[in-house]
């Protein structure tokens, strides 16, 4: 919304819903591997990339029938915030820390405003969808404790 980029042209996932024939991994093995990687502190996107690059699993959803986040929720190892929201919060915290030392950085202040507006939009979506509790608020001082 606020960037000069024009989108990702032609980047579409495969249409297939079932795993290819050459994937020999079982859904249980994939779920166990996802939980094992999550317990080591690997993020959800890195879990998908690790399974793709090291184990030859193109998409977790095709093999296991569930998304990585659904598997993590079932095994009670899901992070407290969704990954995209957590990444934005980390970015805002880092920028706040930068602005403490560089008070005259006007572009940084504008960037912080944009990041925090994205956080508020995304948080209201997650509250509406029931992923976050109804009383969830973005408070930067509390987020520092949650994220780090």
List the structure tokens of 30.
Answer: 């994939």
pLDDT at position 146 is 80
Q: What is the pLDDT of residues 16-36, one digit of tens each?
A: 888 888 999 999 999 999 999
What does CATH list as the number for 83-147? 1.10.287.10
pLDDT at position 68 is 94
List the structure tokens of 136.
Answer: 């969830």
Q: Does 89 score more than 80 pLDDT?
A: yes
Question: Rounded mean pLDDT of the chain?
Answer: 90
| Confidence class for position 119, pLDDT limits 50, 70, 90 | very high
DSSP line for 21-40: TT----HHHHHHHHHHHHHT
pLDDT at position 17 is 82
pLDDT at position 10 is 67
Which residues are within 8 A (CB) of 76 and not within 5 positions of it... i.e. 6 or more apart? none
On whether the CB atoms of residues 34 and 45 are closer than 8 A, the answer is no
Write down the residue that tokens 């980029």 correspond to.
Answer: 5
Domain boundaries, the chain: 27-74, 83-147
Percent of the chain with pLDDT over 90: 73
Burial of 107 (0-12, 13-18, 19+ CB in 10 A): exposed
Q: What is the pLDDT of residues 103-116, one digit of tens each?
A: 999 999 999 999 99
Q: Does 14 score more than 80 pLDDT?
A: no
């Amino acid at each position: 919304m606020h960037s000069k980029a024009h989108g990702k042209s032609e980047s579409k996932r495969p249409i297939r819903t079932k795993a290819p024939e050459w994937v020999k991994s079982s859904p249980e093995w994939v779920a166990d591997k996802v939980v094992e990687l999550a317990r080591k502190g690997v993020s959800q996107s890195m879990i998908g990339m690790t399974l793709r690059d090291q184990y030859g699993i193109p998409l977790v959803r095709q093999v296991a029938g569930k998304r990585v986040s659904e598997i993590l929720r079932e095994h009670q190892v899901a992070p407290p915030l969704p990954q995209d929201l957590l990444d934005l919060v980390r970015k805002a915290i880092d920028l706040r820390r930068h602005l403490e030392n560089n008070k005259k950085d006007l572009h940084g202040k504008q960037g912080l405003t944009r990041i925090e507006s994205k956080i508020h939009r995304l948080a209201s979506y997650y509250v509406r969808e029931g992923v976050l509790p109804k009383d969830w608020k973005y408070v930067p001082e509390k987020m520092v404790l949650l994220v780090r």
